[in-house]
Structure 1
Amino acid sequence: MASARREPAAPRSTGPAGKWCKLRTAGDRGLRAWAALARDLLPAACTRRRSLSGTTPARRWVALTALFTLALTLRLIAIDRSYDIHVDECYYVSISRSVAAGDGPAFQGDYFALHPPALFAVMAVVLRLSGDTGDPAGLLTAVLSVRPVSACIGAVTVVAVTALLHRAVHAPIAWTAGLLLTMDPFLNRFDSRAFLESQAMAATVLGLLVLARLPATARRRAVTGAAAGGLFAVAVTTKDWYALLSFVPVTLLAVAGGRPARGMRLTAAAVTAAGYGLYVGVTAATGAWDAWRQQKLDGLARALGVNQLTGFNSPHNTTDLHERLVARADLFAVSYSLILLGACATFWLLWFRHRQPARYAGSPARSVITACAGCTFTALPYTVFFGTLEEQMFYPPLVAGVLALALTADAARPWDGRKCPGRRTPRRQVAALPLLFVALALVMDARVWAEVHTRRDDAHRRLVDWVTAHVPPHQVVAATDDTVPLVLPRARSQKWSVPAHEGGRRAHYVVVSRQLVEQGYTLIDPASYATLSRRAALVHREPGPTAGALEVYDVRSLMGS
């Protein structure tokens, strides 16, 4: 009698990973069973993750210090000539000078409240230590002197993201994400200028890092929540918009989550609100309430797109977002790809969190990353289509996108790195695709870094030197944009048209930024610029990737002088 064929027995495995495999193959989808298993599984997974890193905490700190040094070095090299002066830098440093002088946040004597003063206070300390005198003629030098502060803070963001991911994903994925942010040309561009984004993002990620671990006692959880809330308060008092990345996701987690993390997160949200409330209270106490209220309402109208003064959606801007993306693709192709892939990864993580909550049980780091990325990419479409959209708006999505991509890459792996029964192992070709993408991205970013940091993009500084050397002090220089009068105080902002007498006041020279004319951000319209270029003598031209070209025209013959 023929013996009956027997099905091959499933591989026997023990421990939490074996229980996980048996649960998966048995088809049990009960949430309670999944959550019960997670209590045994997560500690083993965390231990496995630490063993995969192959480093002790001391060695990890050494590696993070090396990563910080690399990120800072890449941002500091040629920082004074690789990125031209931006008008916002001039505004922020002027306000910081006012703070350093004890006059509070003010620009040219008027109270400034469009953005909170946390970064201005930091730059004021740096300016005082550097011996800045507040001379308007030295504003350009002051801007260049505070740029290293932003570079240092940007390097802190890279390290904070890597450390945060170390608590949520396998170590190789965390280090890969850190390298991508270290080399990213878009982040380098903003971290190498005196902008708000570096400090706001660094404080946000540091706050998330503090919340990425759940202390054992209630007292420690309260202290942890207060520390994270203090960091979030720095973020929202640097730029209000960053409440969407800090206060909002933490509050949502506190409402939707359970104990004991709820109390810690509520404490963080409360301290964040208290910090911003303190800023508002000090503003009211100093008699600036009316100005603050009016400027905040104007800023809210701009953010919602009700009042489109600047940005790609502004009627004054002749360059739309699509044209700018295409024009900058040679520099920021990897950055744009990370944002797009990060958006897809974020919405997949939200679905994954809903379908498999056990994978998040006991892992605060995964929860805060998913919540932060979810809030960021939920708000981004409104900003793109309806709000005031400017380039710096893509800074938070880039960082959040890399966090989401790293978490997605880790979620696609088996929990203990071994194959479960009934689960197919991906083909090597498919598994190698992320590695190929990362390698290609790093090579492209390295090429962009070398190109940017070996060229000269300091047209405004060279323009100041040329005017100082070749234009007599008694002759009037007219500027048709906002940046030139700030870096060259002898120049006056003046609406210009041809015939010249329509421009109002008499001038001997006119400075025009060709790129700003094309974008619609100058006091001279394209038709008048074309007439000026035909009838006036072009006496000097300073080319630059950012400004396009700064052109100096001698208009004395048009003015009859």
Structure 2
Amino acid sequence: MSRALPMSVAWLRAVPLWAVAGAGGLLTVVVRLIGWGQGPDVFGDEVFYWRFGHSVAHGGFPRDHGGTFWLHPPGFFYIEGGWERLFGAPADVVSGVYQMRSLNAVLAGLTAVALVLLMVRVTKSTTVAVAVATVFAFDPYILRINQRVLIETSTMLWVVLGFLVLLPLAQRATGIRWRRRAAAAGLLFGVGILTKDVAALITVVPLIVAARFVWPKRRSVPLFTAAMATVPYAIYVGVVAWAGHFDDLWGNKTHGIRRLLGMAQETGFNSAKTPSLNQRLTEELSNFGSTYALLALAVVAVVPFLRRGSPPQRLLGLWYVSAAIALAYAVVKGTLEEQQLYLLIVPTIVIVAMRAHLLWERRVERRRRGPVSRVATVSLLALTLAWSGFTYAGATSEPDDGYERLRQYMVEHVPAGSAITSMSGSASLLLEDRYRMGKWFTPQERAREHVAYVVVPWRIVEHNISTFTPGEARQLTQQGALLFSFHGRTYGTVELYRVPVPPASPVDGRDG
């Protein structure tokens, strides 16, 4: 390891591994909590996931106003419930979302700790582990997912822990204790699946393939691990069936499979209601340029590990390939949502770091190639961190909490129970505990409901994600007076208008 370390970071050899891992985890948490409460702005899924966690704080299945929730398994929601029991129930929906964002920051920190330990085990290099932890802490896409109340952060934690526990068996699967380690790894994978079903594609699937390419003479190791990964979910299904909800679970899961396969395009970039993937990638290039570069490099970096890598390298390579194939299918035909990339970007930085370490070792062994590999490796890390740091600085320099500020303004100036026309589902979710929210547009509808206020997040409207067209939004807001305005990165300009209530007599116009 000492040969692979440049002199400037050789001091890392003297630092205990637990301190390096702890520092990586602490850095990850701190980065996610800087500017906490000022963005990113809240969006609809966060409210739903907070509600599900809030509902199980005192037991029972996850539920919402619409009834019990079965689309996703409940693992993350029970973690949320425990977090709420630990720190107390929030005062309102925004406080609840921020409370669970702090939970995800901690889960991300634990993921960074696991990544440090994983990289040291597979590369024997503390320097590589520190680099991976730093990239994980600052990567703009990873930050976006970790800073929101999304399931994927907790899912990836269990997956990384599973590979960390399993990796020694890829090096040597002998002895009477291998079953204990394999069982522990399988149960960790199983908890990941219990937070998000699709995690089976990046745990169970690579394990089955590994029976041929990693453990050809000890196939019982990956197959036993894969079998143990099904145990937590099987227990969950058994409890649901015992409680009499199996039919509801089955109906939701079959519908979820149809969505995963693309047979039902209700959400995501492949649905007709959202901007195209190409448009979104172009818009986010300035933010996620370093992430895109890592994704492109991993496609090439994984090849040598699959062809002639050590068993641990091949196992991690199969993890990456499984995630890449799953995402590629989602891009072409399935339901593709932004947060799904998180299941690929984490194994991506692992693969790229492993390849960089391999190039650095060759620099030591083959002096003539030293300048090229050294400059390429250091330049890649420097460019990635510089881009990520620049994006992070820009994101934290200006607040992006328009919906929270809107709610505070309305609590002070808009009477509770007022009827409000909302052009965004997220805005409705944040305000419906205090106001009557709807999509009332025509004079008849607004007269019937006595609508005097309109909330408009202009980016949602202009991107045709709202049920209102830009022309309809302008037509309605031109009738009123602007009360509140805020410009942020997430929703553009968020505005509140007071509009005159039409007379009760019916007039011609669109109804419904």
> Residue in 1 aligned with 2:115?
161
**The 10-residue stretch of structure 1 (122-131 or 211-220) with the greater mean CA deviation from structure 2:** 211-220
The separation in 2 between residues aligned to 1:297 and 1:99, in whole angstroms, is 24
Residue 102 of structure 1, CA deviation: 2.6
Q: Which residue of 2 aligns with 1:306?
A: 263
Matching of residues 122-521 of structure 1 within 5 Å: 122-132=79-89, 138-169=92-123, 171=125, 172-214=127-169, 217-258=174-215, 261-317=218-274, 319-346=275-302, 348-349=303-304, 353-354=306-307, 356=308, 359-360=309-310, 363=311, 365-412=312-359, 417-419=364-366, 425-426=368-369, 428-429=371-372, 431-473=374-416, 475-488=418-431, 489-499=433-443, 501=445, 505-521=449-465
The CA deviation string for residues 359-411 of structure 1, in whole angstroms up to 9 with x for no partner, is 41xx4x31221110011112222111211111101112211111111222234
Q: Deviations over 1:115-154 (max 9, x none)?
A: 1100100100111222217xxx712111111211100111
After TM superposition, the runs of 4+ consecutive aligned structure 1 residues lying more than 4 A away are 46-58, 413-416
Q: 2:482 aligns with which of 523, 538, 544?
A: 538
Q: Which residue in the other structure is 2:77 paired with? A: 120
Provide closer, same or farther for how the CA distance between residues 546 and 205 of structure 1 changes in structure 2, counting only shifts above 3 A. same
Amino acid at match of 1:232: F
Provide, for residues 223-256 of structure 1, a one-character-per-residue CA deviation record: whole Å limited to 9, x for no partner: 1101111110111010111111111111221244
Shift of residue 475, structure 1, vs aligned partner: 3.1
Question: How far is 1:484 from its partner?
Answer: 2.2
CA distance in 1, matches of 2:152, 2:417: 40
**Is the contact between residue 494 and residue 523 of structure 1 (CA under 8 Å) also seen in structure 2?**
no
Q: Distance in 2 between matches of 1:181 and 1:306?
A: 34
For 2:202 and 2:374, how far apart are their aligned partners in 1?
32
- Find the aligned partners of 1:464 and 1:474 in 2 and give their Cα distance: 13
- C-alpha distance 313-428 of structure 1, shift in aligned 2 (>3 A): same
In structure 1, runs of 5+ residues without a counterpart are 1-45
1:547 equivalenced with 2:491 (yes/no): yes
Structure 1 Cα separation of the partners of residues 363 and 487 of structure 2: 56
User: Aligned partners of 1:79 and 1:261: how far apart in 2?
Assistant: 49
Query: Which of 527, 530, 535 is the matching residue for 2:471?
Result: 527
Distance in 1 between residues matched to 2:80 and 2:474, nearest whole Å: 41
Is the contact made by 1:236 and 1:242 (CA closer than 8 Å) also made in structure 2?
A: yes
Q: In structure 1, how many angstroms separate the alpha carbons of the residues matched to 2:283 and 2:485?
A: 23
Say if 2:190 and 2:232, in contact at 8 Å, map to a contact too: yes
Output one character per residue of 1:275-326: Cα deviation in whole Å (capped at 9) or x when no partner. Answer: 2111111111111111111111111111111111111111011x21122122
Give the match's secondary structure for 1:66. helix
The letter of the residue matching 1:551 is: E
- CA distance in 2 between counterparts of 1:98 and 1:269 reads 32
Q: 1:79 to 1:500 in 2, by over 3 A?
A: farther
Q: 1:126 to 1:353 in 2, by over 3 A?
A: closer
Cross-structure match for 1:43: none
Instruction: Give the Cα–Cα distance (whole angstroms) in 1 for the partners of residues 446 and 262 of structure 2.
Output: 33
TM-score if structure 1 supplies the norm length? 0.83
Give the deviation of 1:173 after TM superposition.
2.8
How much does 1:96 deviate?
A: 1.0
Q: SS of 1:315's equivalent?
A: coil
Which residue pairs with 1:30 in the alignment? Answer: none
Quick one: distance in 2 between partners of 1:543 and 1:403? 37
* Contact 1:161/1:178 (8 A) holds in 2: yes
**Structure-2-length-normalised TM-score:** 0.90
Pair 559,399 (structure 1): closer, same or farther in 2 beyond 3 Å: farther
Counterparts of 1:372 and 1:159, CA distance in 2 = 19
Cα offset, 1:158, TM superposition:
1.9
Q: How far does residue 559 in structure 1 lie from its aligned partner after superposition?
A: 5.3
Aligned to 2:34: 77
Of 429-438 and 81-90, the range deviating more from structure 2:
429-438
CA distance in 2, matches of 1:503, 1:113: 38
Query: For 1:223 and 1:170, how far apart are their aligned partners in 2?
Result: 24
Q: Is this contact kept in 2: 1:302–1:388, CA < 8 A?
A: yes
Tell me, yes or no, if the aligned pair for 1:498 and 1:532 is still in contact at 8 Å: no
Structure 1: distance between partners of 2:446 and 2:407: 27
Once the two structures are TM-superposed, the CA of residue 477 in structure 1 deviates from its matched residue by 2.1
Taking the aligned partners of 1:503 and 1:459, their CA distance within structure 2 comes to 28
Summarize the Cα distance change of 1:559–1:442 in structure 2 as closer, same or farther, 3 Å threshold.
farther
Between stretches 520-529 and 142-151, larger displacement belongs to: 520-529
Separation (CA, whole Å) in 1 of partners of 2:262 and 2:466: 22
Over 3 Å counting, the alpha-carbon distance change for 1:540 and 1:170 in structure 2 is same
For residue 412 of structure 1, report the CA deviation from its aligned partner.
3.7
The whole-number CA distance in structure 2 between the counterparts of 1:51 and 1:479 is 58
Distance 1:298-1:518 versus aligned 2 partners, 3 A rule: farther
Query: CA deviation digits over 1:177-201, x for unaligned, max 9?
Result: 2211111111112112211111100
Change (3 A) 1:510 1:150: same
Tell me which amino acid in the other structure corresponds to 1:119. F
In structure 2, the CA distance between the partners of 1:448 and 1:258, relative to structure 1 (3 Å rule), is closer
**How many equivalent residue pairs?**
499
Distance of 1:287 and 1:47 partners within structure 2: 60
Per the TM alignment, residue 524 of structure 1 is displaced from its structure 2 partner at its CA by: 2.2
Q: Distance in 1 between matches of 2:363 and 2:471?
A: 67
Percent of residue pairs identical: 30
In the alignment, the residues of structure 2 paired with residue 415 and residue 428 of structure 1 have an alpha-carbon distance, to the nearest angstrom, of: 11
2:271 aligned partner, one-letter code: S
Tell me the amino acid that sits aligned with residue 521 of structure 1.
Answer: I
Aligned AA for 1:82? Answer: G
Task: Work out whether residues 204 and 231 of structure 1, in 8 Å CA contact, stay in contact via their aligned partners in 2.
Answer: yes
Question: CA–CA distance in 2 between the matches of 1:547 and 1:432?
Answer: 40
Structure 2: how far apart are the matches of 1:303 and 1:339?
Answer: 22
Given that residues 345 and 401 in structure 1 are in contact (C-alpha distance below 8 angstroms), is that contact kept between their aligned partners in structure 2? no
- CA change 1:94–1:61 in 2 (3 A) is same
CA separation in 2, counterparts of 1:559 and 1:118? 51
Cα offset, 1:430, TM superposition = 5.2
Q: Provide the rounded CA distance (Å) in 2 between the counterparts of 1:104 and 1:251.
A: 32
